[in-house]
Chains A and B, each alone.
Chain A
Amino acid sequence: MKKLGIVILSIVLGISACKKDHEVGHENELITTIKLNFKNGNDTKSFAYKDLDGDGGMAPKVDKISLKPNINYDLTVEFLDESKTPAFNITDEIKEEADEHLVVITPSSVAIGTFTYADKDVNQLPIGLMGKFTSKLAAEGTLKVQLRHQPPINGKKTKDGTATPGSDDANINFEIEVK
């Protein structure tokens, strides 16, 4: 019996060797900037949402989107961390893990325009880093840009092409004007 006790104890002790030296991993990711590039032929208009000092502190700087009516724009979305020099491009990471991400672009009213996806991940589900934005009649409102992070849960994929699963890594509103 006594030997058994010692054996059990040594097994338990043996299971876990001492923990490695705790290295602080990489720095926290910080999205400071979301950039929308609307391209029509050779004409590209860029609008940005910038919050360089991160959450809180100074209020973010948001450009007002101004588009022409009834035009088919090629829209690309960029996510940057500009608190570092040089700025860190988070868009590449999203591309790498495209099957866990979904960009959702929602105008406050269909009268402003419509967005359609133009890119697909390995599972043939949309990503939303590239798309088409078709402006309609002259109107004003907001354009919501969301980056949904939909990582697998206990090994099971959660991304299903809708915005429902996961949580927001970014969620902002641009003011938009079509005239």
Chain B
Amino acid sequence: MLQKGFYFKNFLILTFVLSFQFLQAQEVNCSCFVEGKITDKHTREPIAGAMIEISVQKKATFSDKNGKYRIENVCEGKYEMKIRILGYDTQKLEVNLLHENTHDFRLNESEIHLDGINISAKRIESVSGNEKQLDAEQLKKMTGQNLASILTSISGVSIIQTGSSIGKPVIHGMHSNRILTINNGIRHEAQQWGNEHAPEIDPFLAKQITIIKGAKSVRYGPDAIGGVIIIEPNELRHLDSIKTEINHFSMSNGWQNGISGIVESSSHKINGLDWRLQASTKKGGNVATPNYNLANTGSQEFNYSIGAKYSRKRTDINAFFSQFNSKIGIFSGSHIGNTTDLAQAIGREKPLGIYTPESFTFKINRPYQDIQHSLLKLKLNQQLRNNQNLQFTFGQQYNFRSEVDALRGDRNTAQVFKINTNTLEVLFNHKPFFKNIAGNIGLNGLYQYNISTGKILEPQKSNVLIPNYTNFTIGAFWIERYVKGDYELEAGIRWDKRFLDVYYLERLQSQVTSDEFTNQSITNTLSISRNFNNRLKVGYNFATAWKPPVVSELYSDGVHHGSAAYEVGELDLKSEKVIENSVVINFADKFYQFEVLGYFNYLKNYIFLAPTGNSVLTIRGAFPEFKYTQTNARFVGFDISNSWSKFQKFTLSNQLSLLWADDLERNQPLIFMPANRSETNLTFKLNDFWINEVMLNHRLVFKQNRTPTSSIFQNPAESSFLNLIDGDYMAAPDAYNLFDIMVTKDLKFKKTDSFKVIFECKNILNTVYRDYLNRFRYFSDEIGRNISIRTNIIF
């Protein structure tokens, strides 16, 4: 899965520092040995007690207290080496104990060598096993898709879409401000609140994505109620020459094309300086459903990043800058003035002819979204004595979003949001106590300000969706991890306090009103896991998390762009709190793997938007009124995966995601929750054939039958223009089946390290379907067949 055939199980990812040395290969050539040192990637502490195994040779050993190990009397050959330790992910590593020139039988002893192979290693995020990774190899197969679609390949993760180009990840039914994204070590702060605000992250830069399914507030702070998405590029490392990676994709649907280049190397002049430059660009035109094209659905993206690392003795300094730019056309047929327009659009079998043009164009008209996100990161890692370590991470982010509506003239900008965020984290990893306990103490600070109008303290307009505000949050945490034998235990506690100051103009007033909110909370976590015979692992996780109400939930007062709803905030909202319990059972045999993650989350004061039954009369017509309100909610679900494989050539796997989300006060399901889903995948690996891998995929999304039955608010006064069906404009769409095929070919050239070509056809049968979580399901079908070709070249 990872490069060079690393495999992940579910605990951690580690990387190791190994060095292979061949000493004298004698005639039998069985006197080779492998030796090295295993250290933690971040803390650089040696890892004691890791099992290193070359199973074919029936050789195994444990690393000593300095992390060192040595396996002797290994015969020449190509082996799989397995490294296992509790608290870290199991890894498999292919070791080629052969002279480069294999057909030369008269091996010159001195020529037999393998230089130190440096593997960096990382602790797993979660002890109980409720995390999943996508590695570089998997990500290569999905280039060109938006971040949220990439994540849906993980069980329990679904997507909220606004058309085909805007996607937001949903973990176990929770999204937006309940999911935290850690981009390159920095808490991603943008406009998470809107359903049509996709994460502003370039998927081309991501080389590893980790998803924690469940609350992780103790480490990452407020908002991490539903889960955490951790996106990382490769670590910078020393390279003697320039390494280049080029990724390209072309897709038939919408003629989308994209290319990304990464160049990295190390400075020859300054010892210890490594650098990387990356840029990507993407352009697509109008996409098509099986039966018609969709007008104004093009998108453009341009992103770049610069990273550098300077290491000297015990100090590492990291600097990183990235910028994300995107312009996304919003389907013209979804542009509605009011509820009457919406009702008419819903009533039509297919969008009007003018919204489904025959001809194709790349042009993006109004309405569209124009987005920019910049991130600057500075990190200092100082290694202290006694294996202790101190880290300072500073991040600065600027998020710009303008949503341009189809208004008159070229002079009107619908909504502009500008948000600035500064974050600082100080992390101290202390030396291990009593050999088995390791942990860290951290401090977090965040200062954020949003300007929608005028200056922060001097707003100019009253009709803004989000008022000006400043947000100052501080937090402190302490986490310890205890590992002994087959047991592992983690416990942590955290305190956070948020100061939110909001500045706005009341309607028709020129005097600035300011409100102040202070919220604080303590969260804690306890995880425990046990390994049985390295085949069965059982983990349990308990966590609490919280989220103070965000500005949009408190202050919304207006028609939400494009959604034909008049949204009203509620100033009296209390903080949301979650208590999470989850169990992970993982069984792995030679041919069979099984994993089940069961979760039971209780959310106190769950904030959601619900129709009041009233309509608000505006000059554009009547709009149904939606109000933010709170309830106690329960999220129960299972992610079940099964995988059978035979001789590493044939793999059949299935992932099932099930969720029951209920409003406990009204005893009915919550609205807008992902439907149950099953994904089956059949993979053939054909090593000596003209293609290397064939993958067939089937996705079945069930109909969401669990929708609310009674209204949330008590006063449905008048009947509005639109009859709401279970709190929605339209009943949930039917179940659907999708089939995809993917063929991979690895080409070998002298000058390239790797040359991969991937051919894919999505929705082979051109199935017509609509998805419950696509906000455009009222207007149009989902996109149809899409044939794509991807290349990945590393040299």
Contact = CB atoms under 8 A, between A and B. Distances in A.
Q: Do A and B come from one complex?
A: yes
Interface of A: 1-2, 5-6, 8-9, 12-13, 15-16, 19, 22, 24-32, 34, 49, 51-60, 83, 90, 93-94, 96-97, 100-101, 149, 151-156, 158, 164-165, 167-172
* Residue of B361, B409, B416 with highest tally of chain A CB at under 10 A: B409
B578 interface: no
B756 to A, nearest CB: 15
A58 B508 CA distance: 10
B472 to A, nearest CB: 25
B281 A97 contact: no
A33 B295 CA distance: 32
B259 A8 contact: yes
A125 to B, nearest CB: 14
B752 interface: yes
A56 B246 CA distance: 52
14 contacts: A2-B242, A9-B263, A12-B279, A22-B400, A30-B463, A53-B507, A60-B617, A93-B408, A93-B409, A94-B408, A149-B406, A154-B332, A170-B621, A171-B620
A158 B295 CA distance: 12
A172 B279 contact: no
A19 B246 CA distance: 25
B286 interface: yes
Nearest to A25: B413
Interface string B247-289: 0000000000001110100000000000001011100001000
B620 A158 contact: no
Contact of B795 (A1, A13, A53): A1
A171 B621 contact: yes
A12 B277 CA distance: 12
Contacts of B619: 31-32, 34, 49, 51, 55, 60, 170-172
Contacts of B621: 168, 170-172
Contacts of A90: 408
B353 to A, nearest CB: 9
B557 A167 contact: no
A9 B276 CA distance: 12
Contacts of B372: 19, 22
A54 B463 contact: yes
A90 to B, nearest CB: 7
Given A149-B337, A156-B354, A168 B620 contact: yes
B185 interface: no
B507 A58 contact: yes
Contacts of A19: 325, 372
A31 B559 CA distance: 14
Interface in B746-785: 751-752
Nearest to B283: A15
A168 B623 CA distance: 12
Interface residues of B, number: 68
Contacts of A22: 372, 400, 402, 416, 418
A55 B559 contact: yes
Nearest to A13: B279
Contacts of A100: 408
A9 B354 CA distance: 39
A3 to B, nearest CB: 10
Interface of B: 241-242, 244, 246, 259-261, 263, 277, 279-281, 286, 295-296, 302, 304, 325, 332, 335-338, 340-341, 352, 354-355, 357, 359, 361, 363, 365-366, 372, 400, 402, 406-409, 411-416, 418, 461-463, 507-508, 557-559, 566, 568, 616-621, 623, 751-752, 795
Contacts of B557: 56-57
B620 A170 contact: yes
B688 to A, nearest CB: 27
A90 B409 CA distance: 11
A11 to B, nearest CB: 9
B479 to A, nearest CB: 40
Contacts of B336: 167-168
B286 A154 contact: yes
A28 B413 contact: yes
A96 B463 CA distance: 26
A170 B407 CA distance: 12
Nearest to A34: B619
A154 B357 contact: yes
Nearest to B405: A28
B411 A97 contact: no
Given A1-B752, A25-B402, A56-B618, 14 more contacts: A2-B795, A5-B263, A12-B279, A25-B412, A26-B413, A28-B461, A28-B463, A83-B508, A93-B409, A153-B365, A154-B296, A154-B359, A168-B337, A172-B619
Contacts of A53: 462, 507-508
Contacts of A31: 619-620
A26 B411 contact: yes
A73 to B, nearest CB: 23
Nearest to A53: B507
Contact of B416 (A1, A8, A24, A164): A24
Contacts of B340: 168, 171
A6 B263 contact: yes
* Residue of A29, A32, A153, A172 with highest tally of chain B CB at under 10 A: A153
A154 B361 contact: yes
B795 to A, nearest CB: 5
Contacts of B261: 5, 8-9, 12
B325 A151 contact: no
Given A15-B281, A30-B463, A168-B337, A54 B354 contact: no
B408 A29 contact: yes
Contacts of B354: 153, 156, 158, 165
* Residue of A5, A13, A51, A97 with highest tally of chain B CB at under 10 A: A5
B752 A171 contact: no
Contacts of B295: 153-154
Contact of A55 (B304, B400, B618): B618
A168 B338 contact: yes
Given A22-B372, A154-B295, A167-B336, A12 B366 contact: no
Contacts of A13: 279, 304
Nearest to A101: B408
A151 B365 CA distance: 10
Contacts of A34: 619
A6 B412 CA distance: 41
Contacts of B752: 1
Contact of A24 (B335, B338, B413): B413
Nearest to B300: A16
A91 to B, nearest CB: 11
Q: Which 9 pairs, one residue from A and one from B, show the smallest C-beta to C-beta distance?
A: A168-B337, A5-B244, A171-B621, A25-B413, A167-B337, A9-B261, A53-B507, A26-B411, A12-B279
Given A1-B795, A55-B616, A12 B280 contact: yes
Contact of B302 (A2, A6, A16): A16
A96 B361 contact: no
A57 B411 contact: no
A26 B244 CA distance: 44
A30 B414 CA distance: 10
Contacts of B352: 164-165
A69 to B, nearest CB: 29
* Residue of B279, B325, B363, B508 with highest tally of chain A CB at under 10 A: B279
A55 B363 contact: no
Contacts of A15: 281, 302
B412 A26 contact: yes
Contacts of B414: 28
A168 B413 contact: no
Nearest to B295: A153
A88 B411 CA distance: 14
A155 B620 CA distance: 26
Contacts of B337: 149, 167-169, 171
Contacts of B241: 2
Contact of A153 (B355, B415, B463, B618): B355
A16 B281 contact: yes
Contacts of A32: 619
B338 A153 contact: no
